[in-house]
Amino acid sequence: MTAFNPSFADKFTFGLWTVGNPGRDPFGQPTRPLLSPAEIVDLLGEAGGVLGVNFHDNDLIPIDANPHEANAIKREFRAALERTGIRVGMGTVNLFGDPVFKDGAYTSNDADVRAYAVHKTMHAMDLAAELGADIWVMWGGREGCETDAAKDPVEALSRYRDAINYLVNYSIDKGHNYKFAMEPKPNEPRGHIYLPTIGHCLAFIATLEHPELVGVNPEVAHEHMAGLNFTHAVAMALWAGKLFHIDLNDQEFGRYDQDFRFGSVNPKHAFNLVRLLEDHSYSGYKHFDSHAYRTSDRDDVVEFARGSMRSYLILKDKARQWNADPMIQELLGVINRDNSSHQLGSYSTESATALKEASLDRTEFASRPLPYEKLDQRTNEILLGV
């Protein structure tokens, strides 16, 4: 029996804004006291086994802080990192909270706002790099609209691309060496957000000046909000060599953006995801972008952090059991028939002629068994511990 205790090798990370979330929602005031960045790092230290902490520039340094205040916060934060052994993993920038970004940042209709967004991002990149971040996440929460009368969506994509090209060049120029991860979301806080899915982001990345430095940061809740299969979205990112980061949480389909604890709503989807990540040896950070229930106190927030990591490790162990299970292996052997003498291979005139002339018995093929009910039931029983 493994104890499912996380270690640094698991590369679990949390954001200052996640475990530090005071329980505010659109209808109600905070239910927990606001913690300082250093206090949040101490809380993560208490949870145990957390490798890294992530932040938006203004999670660490308030937007109006003077240099003296900023230095004092950084000093305390560094001291907390030292005493817990936690390091900074990913950095990002808040381009959604301030009123200046009410109509977008990189895609705003106002060129001054676009310039300010890039200026703010460069400062944020310097800050996170100074503290050790090596991944830069770009979530365009305000890049969108409520009405398409407001903005030409083609023009918006060009503005978006100009900003990202500029920032990637800045990172190269400064020697920051970030890998960039674009995080899609279909809506919230905008009515419609540009680049709403992993597929949109991958197509966009192919048009950049340095596509090799830009990948994606998929988030469970963001695909589930749109009714999409998250495991398939992550699979496409892996297949394209673009899974640079991942945001783990959970979400009921068809609801508002819930940011629940990983694995808490749909353990079977979570299992499929963990099995995919482990089978394909994903080695980046596993970031829990979720909030404890508004009803939780500090002790329960620590349980929320521990539970997120435990669920991942339990599902990883279930994936190992699934792969080693004799019945599963036998069923996979029945399902995967890879021994045809008509393997496609690469195209040649000869192989095409041979395939056209082959006699292929479609009735016999259609009669071959596909025991997916049995396979899925066995999967459920492994998950349920039977």
Count of positions on this chain that bind ligand GCO (CB under 6 A): 10
Instruction: Decide which of Mn ion, ligand GCO, none touches 250; Cβ closer than 5 to 8 Å per partner kind.
Output: none
Neighbours of 178 (CB within 10 A): 24
Question: Which member of 247, 260, 273, 305 binds ligand GCO (CB under 6 A)?
Answer: 247
Instruction: Decide which of Mn ion, ligand GCO, none touches 51; Cβ closer than 5 to 8 Å per partner kind.
Output: none
> Is 56 an active-site residue?
yes
Residue-wise DSSP of 137-195: EEE-TTSEES-TTS--HHHHHHHHHHHHHHHHHHHHHHT--PEEEEE--SSSSSSEESS
Residue-wise DSSP of 88-134: EEEEE---SSSGGGTT-STT-S-HHHHHHHHHHHHHHHHHHHHTT--
Site for Mn ion in 224-253 (CB under 5 A): 247
Rule CB under 6 A: is residue 59 a binding residue for ligand GCO?
no
Contact at 8 Å (CB) between 199 and 161? no
Residue of 240, 196, 241 lying closest to 219 (CA atoms): 196
Q: Give the count of alpha carbons within 13 A of 208, CB side only.
A: 23
Nearer to ligand GCO, 247 or 250 (CB): 247
Question: Which member of 266, 289, 291, 311 binds Mn ion (CB under 5 A)?
Answer: 289
Choose, from 25, 42, 56, 299, the residue flagged as catalytic.
56
Contact at 8 Å (CB) between 286 and 248? yes
CB of residue 370 vs Mn ion: minimum separation in angstroms? 37
Which ranges of the chain would DSSP assign to H, the alpha helix? 16-19, 37-47, 57-60, 67-84, 111-130, 153-174, 198-205, 220-225, 230-239, 267-279, 298-324, 326-335, 349-357, 362-366, 372-383
CB of residue 318 vs ligand GCO: minimum separation in angstroms? 26
Region of 109-117, 120-128, 137-145, 358-366 interacting with ligand GCO (CB under 6 A): 137-145
Q: Are strands 192-193 and 144-145 parallel, antiparallel or unpaired?
A: antiparallel
Rule CB under 6 A: is residue 120 a binding residue for ligand GCO?
no
Residue 348 identity: S
Q: Are strands 87-92 and 214-216 parallel, antiparallel or unpaired?
A: unpaired
Nearer to ligand GCO, 143 or 219 (CB): 219
Rule CB under 6 A: is residue 39 a binding residue for ligand GCO?
no
Nearer to Mn ion, 107 or 251 (CB): 251
Region of 134-142, 157-165, 224-232, 331-339 interacting with ligand GCO (CB under 6 A): 134-142
Nearer to ligand GCO, 308 or 379 (CB): 308
Question: Which member of 10, 126, 257, 330 binds ligand GCO (CB under 6 A)?
Answer: 257
- The answer for residues whose C-beta is within 8 angstroms of residue 140's C-beta and 6 or more apart is 95, 104, 105, 106, 107, 160, 182, 183, 193, 194, 195
Site for ligand GCO in 171-230 (CB under 6 A): 183, 185, 219
Region of 6-14, 133-141, 169-177, 306-314 interacting with ligand GCO (CB under 6 A): 133-141
Question: Which member of 137, 163, 233, 331 binds ligand GCO (CB under 6 A)?
Answer: 137
Question: Helix (H, G, I), strand (E, B), or coil: what is residue 52?
Answer: strand
CB of residue 64 vs ligand GCO: minimum separation in angstroms? 20
Residue 298 identity: R
Choose, from 59, 103, 250, 259, the residue flagged as catalytic.
59
> Is 59 an active-site residue?
yes
CB of residue 247 vs ligand GCO: minimum separation in angstroms? 5
Neighbours of 139 (CB within 10 A): 23
What character string, x for contact with ligand GCO (CB under 6 A) and - otherwise, covers 267-306? ----------------------x-----------------
For CA atoms 195, 199, 202, 208, give the dihedral sign: negative
Residue carrying structure tokens 């009714």: 227
Rule CB under 6 A: which residues touch ligand GCO? 92, 137, 139, 141, 183, 185, 219, 247, 257, 289
* Catalytic annotation, residues: 56, 59
Binding region for Mn ion (CB under 5 A):
219, 247, 289
